[in-house]
Amino acid sequence: MIEITTTRHNHLIDPSLHIWGWEIPVYLFLGGMVAGMMLISGYFLFSGRYKETNCSCYYLPIMSFLLLSLGMFALFLDLEHKPYVWRLYTTFQITSPMSWGSWILVLVYPILFASMLMRPHRLLLEKIPHVKKWHEYLHSKPMLIKYLGVVSMFFGAAIGMYTGVLLSSLGARPLWSSSILWLLFLVSGLSSAAAFVHLIAKNVYERELLAKSDNAFLILELFIITVFLIGLSSNSDVHAKALDLLMTGKYAAVFWVFVIGMGIVIPLFIQLLAVNHKIHHTPIAPIMVIIGGLILRFVIVAAGQYSHWYVLTN
Amino acid sequence: MAYLSRRRFLKISGASIVATAALSSASGIVKGAKKIEEKTGKQVKGIQKIPTYCSMCFWKCSAIAYVKDGKLWKIEGNPEDPLSNGRLCPRGTGGVGAHYDPDRLKAPLIRKSERGEEKWVQVTWDEALDYIAKKMNKIKNEYGPESIGFFSHGIGGGFFKHLLKAYGTRNIAAPSFDQCLGPRDTAFEITYGDVVGGPERTDIENAECIVLFGSHIGENMHNTQVQEFSKAVERGASIIVVDPRMSTAATKAKYYLPIKPGTDLALLLTWINILISENLYDKDYVEKYTFGFEQLKAAVSGYTPEWAYPITGIEPELIRETAHEIARYIPHTLVHPGRHSVWYGDDTQRGRALAIINALIGSWGRKGGLTNQDVFDIPSYPYPPYPKPERERADNPGGKYPFGGAEGYTTGLREATLTENPYPIKGWFVYGTNILYSLPNTQETIDAIQKLDLLVVIDVVPSEIAGYADVVLPEAVYLERYDDLFAPYFKQPFVSIRQPVVDPPHDQKPGWWIAKKLGEKLGLQKYFPWKNIEEYLDTRLKLAGLSLAELKKKGVIKGPKIPLYIEEGFEPEFETPTGKIELYSTILAEKGFDPIPKFTKHEDPPPGYFRLLFGRAPMHSFSRTQTNRLLNNVMDENEVWVNADVVKRLGLKPGEYVRLKNQDGVLSNKVRIKATERIRTDCVYIVHGFGHNARMLKGAYLKGASDSQLITKYKVDPLMGGTGMNVNFVTFETEA
Amino acid sequence: MARFGMVIDTAKCVGCADCVVACETENNVPEGYARDWIKQVATGKFPNTQLEIRSERCNHCSDAPCVTACPTGASHFHDVGGIVLVDHNECIGCKACIASCPYDARFVHPEGYVDKCTFCVHRVEEGLDPACVSVCPTHCMHFGDLDDPNSEVSKLLNSRKHHSLLPEAGTKPNIFYLI
Ligand SMILES: Nc1nc2c(c(=O)[nH]1)N[C@H]1C(S)=C(S)[C@@H](COP(=O)(O)OP(=O)(O)OC[C@H]3O[C@@H](n4cnc5c(=O)[nH]c(N)nc54)[C@H](O)[C@@H]3O)O[C@H]1N2
Ligand SMILES: Nc1nc2c(c(=O)[nH]1)N[C@H]1C(S)=C(S)[C@@H](COP(=O)(O)OP(=O)(O)OC[C@H]3O[C@@H](n4cnc5c(=O)[nH]c(N)nc54)[C@H](O)[C@@H]3O)O[C@H]1N2
Ligand code: SF4
Ligand code: SF4
Ligand code: SF4
Ligand code: SF4
Ligand code: SF4
Ligand SMILES: [Mo]
């Protein structure tokens, strides 16, 4: 038996680290979903689908803009020293994913704005001559739209990966120190975004396409989760113990029921039936996928914070 | 007995006869920062360093307080101080928290409902002192002045002792004797004609082998001892710890003997037997300095390791091996005499065995043993003589306890109050002692209080005992006041000063001021001839050839070095009837007690119960520091230590809250279980001082459990009235 | 280049927490927070139990993940001795550094910035020992330059068995515990 007594008592850290509350998972989730949406919308721009007037690439940028801003706001809420937030942008710290992230996010906004020029709001078109000029210029240069699609996909992927790298770079939390957390978050972001588009797409073809791709993403996600879990179990002892938090421990119930069951397997099953026309499309499945994606971020952030070297080694 | 402490007593009172006329008042001295501010109208900027001595426990290390921009910042040790050597213990460092304690008493209070209900009316100092004076005069008229008793602990009580002696009573007692070191010092007085004293004369620093019975140094944070112990550890001294619980010190020991509680005397007598029968003792020393060796030899011959094994639970081989280890380093072995020695009621006899074994290894007057001590002789203030009480002291009627008594018998005073025998006690003063937590059997104390016409408590926080007072007087904490000079017996004689560092934050007053004001209201002005405390201190210092100004600047002034060991020219004198170290005690024989200790068996816990042991945490003092936010920060509740196997067997959960229930059905506050591999299976352990139930102690209220509540039973030492408190048994009540 | 570190003798430490209290007053650490703390680890079966008592704090790691994680540069290596510090006016309170520290040495100060042990740089620059070191009644703590082979800390490390905390976390901690 190992007995430990300690005089430690730092708020939010003892007895076990809990520095990040709801804000960070929400931010990571929204960031991930925006990443997925940018990939999807970028792809539609790139592949020329924007020629369909009801293509979702017309409204995804504005939604991305709103959701991303919401996510940034959540992140801002989490900052403890808010008046100093501008300090993020007086420096670039090459080793810090968070610094990368904040600069990437700054670059993402112009891309979203440019994408919004594909079909600006009527009022803007009428009131601001520049908007009209740029809008027309964009539509006169199909190559430019293609590039915009590529850049959008590129930055979408960057954000998606960043949300995972942010956590996995923090080696002090064994649960996060996985080399594929970025892929998991990227794919999960894609699946949430696909579900979202599936849910709201006006274009029947897109709806079908995205339901199908969502199924692919979900299958991929299951596969990555398996690799993620196996990776932890075959790493050191602490990592294996961190894994236990998800397998059998404190966070197992939420993880298996909400993330795996209701967030992936059941909606996958429903959507498989739907795309094979066994049942009608239902909004239930995509909603479950989206909620599952959100809960995944909550579980990973919470369990990761809990997965402390000391807690796990003693 | 008058005989005890005579040497020390003579020395001090002898000096006080020297009186001189030249009394000049001190002037132009730096006071608390805020005072300067008031005087000059300027805010004091920057850092001031003000020497003073610590009062977070009774060791009284000298310290230097830092005041930054007029606010108390931090406290460090005074490098000149032989007690602290410039480093305080955590409580001393945390003394800052005593000044800032939000739970402090702020103004005098007079009770407005039942005693113990903690309901008060705030009054002015004049109102409070008038009220007290009126009641005191009434008691004096109806019952005589001896009917006031005084419980006092700490140097600050000195001015009240003076006041009450002037008033006409000698019924003064401190828990530092019959709840603390009484048995030990009585035993040494009987054996060596001198006490171990406090600060103890133990030369831990130079000992090559150190034996500790209990004495949990490192948890018991008496600064000098801890520092010396650490040096001994560094030197690789051989350490033997005898304790049912693996104390911090035990984890650093070469030998740890997990003794069954209450059987130490068996082990000691066996060791003594081995030292004698195997001819391992210091023969020259014993020959030269001791009396009664042959009687001792005969008396202990039956105490073999095989006999001791079933009693103590210590393997015979281990007993032999450790006896040899003790002998190996003679004369630089120290069997620590302990300090808090009121355990089982036969403690003076255990103390005798400790005294005897130290004689056999020749430690008194030896390097690494029990050294010579001396005092910086500072005459007392030339007061007029006190009135002579008409009646004997009430705390030991008929000399029931033939030994001890120098500091009074607290439980004796309590009993006299309860029984009105030998005469009624109608008023109590309580200064600096939370007698509801320091005396055993709280109910007896409460019952005695209900017989009083007046209970005055002078405290700094609304302690449990303050909750029962008729009048509560808020004292300024030690950092905000002067107290008397401190000049203890020590291996390096010195004198140190306590002086105000900052002002009291509210209407708190220093003890000397309260005593003087009350004295004036009682018509005892002639006993307070000094204008203020500076004048008093300066007078005493001048009599010793020093000045207040100098001491205020330095904090500590050392006397000349003295020879510590026989090798350095120290010539021990033993003021016993035979003039020798009495292995066989002639005075014990004369009074009809065992002249050589005999092992007596103590009651075992009933099935399902565990003996309740208690002790110290390094960051707290008794029941007085739990609201100190700095110390509370590092320990805010105590835990009950239970052997891990017992926890499993009883189906308890580590860390869960339980209540302890004692043999008389008394339930404690809830307390967490510490499942540990550091204690025997027949006892449990808690740190004393927690589990406060005075509601106004907001920072400590109901945090942890109180041993005091559970100590309903106690065994009185027939020699000196010490109250053995390790005789209570507890069991667990879950669903706390 | 100096590399400041501590060498703490667990054989002498008694776990009194004086180092914790001294840090609180010296550095005005707010109530309810601590820059250093005591950990007692007991192993084995009674009565053959072993106990290691450690005074712990930020390890001022040479490979400090808190510094690499910081997006603003608020967490940085001080010019002197490689002390890891937080610049309060650059810190945005994102807590990435907290999540990246395997020792949980950092906390959010009630004023919003992240705080932790500074190795008492204000004292060290004046040639004093850190407050916790200079208060310790058992003299079990030592502070100095680990890169100087003649320093007390280096000599202790050369002459005694020692370990550091979580070396497997790869942070190269600069506090060592003598056994
Ligand atoms: N931090 C701090 N330090 C203090 C104080 C404080 O309040 N706080 N108070 C000071 C004062 S006034 C005193 S008197 C001292 C008291 O401190 P000590 O004189 O050291 O007190 P003890 O009662 O000897 O020590 C308690 C130890 O005795 C063990 N013990 C209990 N029963 C037995 C037994 O039957 N046999 C043996 N061999 N051991 C037993 C307990 O397990 C515990 O480890 O501490 C002083 N130092
Ligand atoms: N159950 C149990 N009883 C014990 C012990 C034990 O371990 N367990 N230990 C015994 C021992 S060894 C001793 S020495 C005694 C100690 O016994 P006490 O001296 O009674 O110790 P405390 O419980 O700390 O009570 C001290 C009181 O003085 C108050 N006080 C603190 N500072 C000042 C001040 O500056 N001025 C005034 N006026 N008041 C102040 C505190 O608020 C507190 O109410 O207890 C003994 N009794
Ligand atoms: S031992 Fe500690 S509490 Fe006691 S006087 Fe010294 S510094 Fe103060
Ligand atoms: S002050 Fe020293 S002895 Fe006390 S806990 Fe700290 S390091 Fe250990
Ligand atoms: S201990 Fe933690 S805070 Fe300190 S330098 Fe290392 S990683 Fe950073
Ligand atoms: S909380 Fe402050 S110090 Fe820590 S990483 Fe963020 S900005 Fe840097
Ligand atoms: S070095 Fe200074 S800041 Fe660090 S723990 Fe020690 S006292 Fe506190
Ligand atoms: Mo005591």
Please report which helix (H) or strand (E) contains residue B75, including its range.
Answer: strand B71-77
User: Which amino acid residue places its CA nearest to atom 8 of ligand 7?
Assistant: C23
Q: In chain A, which residues have pLDDT < 50?
A: none
CB atoms < 10 A from the CB of A244, how many? 18
Using CB atoms and an 8 Å cut-off, which of residues 46-85 of chain C contact chain B? 46-47, 49-51, 53
Q: Is the pLDDT of residue B31 over 50?
A: no
Q: In chain C, which residues have pLDDT < 70?
A: none
Q: Is the pLDDT of residue B60 over 50?
A: yes
The answer to whether residue A177 sits within a structural domain is yes
Q: What is the pLDDT of residue B40?
A: 52
> Model-level pTM?
0.94
Compute the mean pLDDT over every residue in chain B, rounded to the nearest whole number: 94
> What domain range is A111 assigned to?
23-312
Q: What structural domains and CATH numbers belong to chain B?
A: 6-24+105-178+379-484+494-558 (3.40.50.740), 200-370+573-590 (3.40.228.10), 610-734 (2.40.40.20)
> How many CB pairs (< 8 A) connect B and C?
119
Q: Which of B104, B341, B433, B444 to mutate to test the pocket of ligand 2 (most atoms within 8 A of CB)?
A: B433
Can you list the pairs that A209-214 forms with residues at least 24 positions away whose Cβ atoms lie under 8 Å? A210/A40, A211/A271, A211/A274, A211/A275, A211/A281, A212/A275, A214/A271, A214/A286, A214/A289
Pick among C23, C53, C135 to test the B interface (most B CBs inside 10 A): C135
* Residue A8, amino acid: R
Taking the CA of residue A70 and the nearest CA in chain C, the distance in Å comes to 17
The answer to whether residue A114 sits within a structural domain is yes
> What domain range is C147 assigned to?
4-178
Confidence of residue B518 (pLDDT cuts 50, 70, 90): very high
Report how many domains make up chain C: 1
Report how many domains make up chain A: 1
The string of DSSP letters for B614-651 reads EE--TT--TTTSTT-HHHHHH--S-EEEEEHHHHHHTT
Closest residue of chain B to C136, computed from CA coordinates: B87
Contact C90, C72 (CB under 8 A): yes
The answer to whether residue A9 sits within a structural domain is no
Q: Is the pLDDT of residue B120 over 80?
A: yes
Q: A56 is written with which tokens?
A: 């979702």
Q: What is the pLDDT of residue B631?
A: 98
Taking the CA of residue C22 and the nearest CA in chain B, the distance in Å comes to 6
Average pLDDT over residues B50-60: 97
Per residue in B153-189, pLDDT (tens digit) is: 999 999 999 999 999 999 999 999 999 999 999 999 9
DSSP 3-state of A143: helix
Q: Is the pLDDT of residue B622 over 50?
A: yes
Whether chain A has a CB inside 8 Å of the CB on B33: the answer is no
DSSP 3-state of B473: strand
Q: What is the pLDDT of residue B736?
A: 61
Residues in chain A within 8 Å Cβ distance of B620: none
> CA B725 to CA B714: how far, in whole Å?
5
The answer to whether residue A132 sits within a structural domain is yes
User: CATH number, domain at C112?
Assistant: 3.30.70.20
Per residue in B521-555, pLDDT (tens digit) is: 999 999 999 999 999 999 999 999 999 999 999 99
Q: Does ligand 2 come within 6 angstroms of the Cβ of B156? A: yes
Q: Does ligand 5 come within 6 angstroms of the Cβ of C171? A: yes
Q: What is the pLDDT of residue C123?
A: 97
B224 alpha carbon to ligand 4 midpoint, in Å? Answer: 15
Residues in chain A within 8 Å Cβ distance of B678: 3
> CA B514 to CA B427: how far, in whole Å?
17
User: Which amino acid residue places its CA nearest to atom 2 of ligand 6?
Assistant: C91
> How many CB pairs (< 8 A) connect A and C?
153
Per residue in B419-438, pLDDT (tens digit) is: 999 999 999 999 999 999 99
**Record: contact C136-B87, CB cut-off 8 A:** yes
B176 alpha carbon to ligand 8 midpoint, in Å? Answer: 5
Point out the residue among B223, B634, B677 whose CB comes nearest to the CB of C44.
B677
Q: What is the pLDDT of residue B4?
A: 37
Taking the CA of residue C22 and the nearest CA in chain A, the distance in Å comes to 14
List chains adjacent to chain B, taking adjacency as at least 3 C-beta pairs closer than 8 Å: A, C
Contact B516, B133 (CB under 8 A): no
Report which DSSP code applies to B470: S
Neighbours of ion ligand 8 (CB under 5 A): B 180
Q: Does ligand 3 come within 6 angstroms of the Cβ of B620? A: no
Closest residue of chain C to B84, computed from CA coordinates: C137
Tell whether omega for the bond before B462 is within 30 degrees of 0, i.e. cis.
no
Q: What ipTM score was computed for the predicted complex, to two decimals?
A: 0.94
The answer to whether residue A15 sits within a structural domain is no
Q: What is the pLDDT of residue B570?
A: 96
Among residues A89, A110, A100, A115, the alpha carbon closest in space to that of A159 is found at: A100
Per residue in B207-225, pLDDT (tens digit) is: 999 999 999 999 999 999 9
User: CATH number, domain at A39?
Assistant: 1.20.1630.10
Burial of C30 (0-12, 13-18, 19+ CB in 10 A): middle
Q: B647 is written with which tokens?
A: 């926890």
Residues in chain A within 8 Å Cβ distance of C170: 171
Taking the CA of residue C72 and the nearest CA in chain B, the distance in Å comes to 32
Confidence of residue B3 (pLDDT cuts 50, 70, 90): very low
The string of DSSP letters for chain C reads ---EEEEEETTT-----HHHHHHHHHTTPPTT--S-EEEEEEES-TTS-EEEEEEE-----TT-HHHHH-SSS-EEE-TTTT-EEE-TTT-----HHHHH-TT---EE-TTSSEE---TTHHHHTTTPPPHHHHH-TT--EEEEETT-TTSHHHHHHHHS-EE-S-GGG-----EEEE-
Q: Does ligand 4 come within 6 angstroms of the Cβ of C40? A: no
Point out the residue among A1, A3, A7 whose CB comes nearest to the CB of B634.
A7
Point out the residue among B633, B644, B674 whose CB comes nearest to the CB of A1.
B644
Taking the CA of residue B677 and the nearest CA in chain A, the distance in Å comes to 8
Residues in chain C within 8 Å Cβ distance of B231: 139
The answer to whether residue A113 sits within a structural domain is yes
Whether chain C has a CB inside 8 Å of the CB on B73: the answer is yes
Per residue in A170-226, pLDDT (tens digit) is: 988 999 988 899 999 999 999 999 999 988 888 888 888 898 999 999 999 999 999
The answer to whether residue A121 sits within a structural domain is yes
Q: Is the pLDDT of residue B54 over 70?
A: yes
Q: What is the pLDDT of residue A200?
A: 87
B704 alpha carbon to ligand 2 midpoint, in Å? Answer: 17
The answer to whether residue A221 sits within a structural domain is yes
Residue labelled with tokens 């460092």: B93
**Record: contact B678-C46, CB cut-off 8 A:** yes
Burial of B542 (0-12, 13-18, 19+ CB in 10 A): middle
Q: Is the pLDDT of residue B18 over 50?
A: no
> CA C14 to CA B578: how far, in whole Å?
43
Q: Which region holds residue B391: left if phi is over 0, alpha if psi is between -120 and 50, else beta?
A: beta
Looking at B512-625, which runs of residues are DSSP E strands?
556-558, 581-582, 610-615
Residues with beta carbon inside 6 Å of ligand 7?
C 23, 26-27, 35-36, 57, 117-120, 130-132
Tell me, rounded to whole angstroms, the distance of Cα B559 from its chain centroid.
25
